[in-house]
């Protein structure tokens, strides 16, 4: 059974940094594409970044140059380093894993950026 658990969220001032982690279990992590999404109340979940099993990365324009997604296959963990945070980055951040034609989600971690 594939499971995901995010951590690392919190309250930070504008311009600050946070690093989110997503630990996974089940299946073959190295064969999985991983992603980060975020959601604010009343809005659809928004794609933030993905990293393929090949380590190829892609970012939403809104975070490009500020956020970095990475993975550690030995630890079955994906990270999201978030720098120069803005109030508009405030959201619940969700980890996403695509494995063998199925998609799995974590429970989310809250990130709040104060101005």
Check residue 30 and give its pLDDT. Answer: 87
Q: Find the Cα–Cα–Cα–Cα dihedral 17, 23, 24, 29, rounded to 10°.
A: 70
Q: Within 13 Å, how many C-alpha atoms sit on residue 9's CB side?
A: 19
Contacts of 41 (CB under 8 A, 6+ apart): none
Each of the 115 residues of the chain gets a pLDDT tens digit; together they read 899 999 999 999 999 999 999 999 988 898 899 999 999 999 999 999 999 999 999 999 999 999 999 999 999 999 999 999 999 999 999 999 998 889 999 999 999 999 9
Check residue 71 and give its pLDDT. Answer: 97
Check residue 112 and give its pLDDT. Answer: 98
Check residue 3 and give its pLDDT. Answer: 94
Please name which of 26, 22, 24, 21 lies closest in space to residue 1, comparing C-alpha atoms: 26
Check residue 31 and give its pLDDT. Answer: 86
Please name which of 29, 36, 22 lies closest in space to residue 93, comparing C-alpha atoms: 36
Q: In this structure, what DSSP letter does residue 88 have?
A: G
């Amino acid at each position: 059974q594939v499971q995901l658990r995010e951590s690392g969220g919190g309250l930070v001032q504008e311009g600050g940094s946070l690093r989110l982690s997503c630990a996974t279990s089940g299946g073959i992590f190295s064969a999985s594409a991983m992603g980060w999404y975020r959601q604010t109340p009343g809005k659809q979940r928004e794609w933030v970044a993905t990293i393929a099993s090949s380590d190829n990365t892609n970012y939403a324009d809104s975070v490009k140059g500020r956020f970095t997604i990475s993975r550690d296959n030995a630890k079955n963990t994906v990270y999201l380093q978030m720098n120069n945070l803005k109030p508009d980055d405030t959201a619940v951040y969700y980890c996403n894993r695509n494995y063998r034609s199925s998609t799995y989600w974590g429970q989310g971690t809250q990130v709040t950026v104060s101005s």
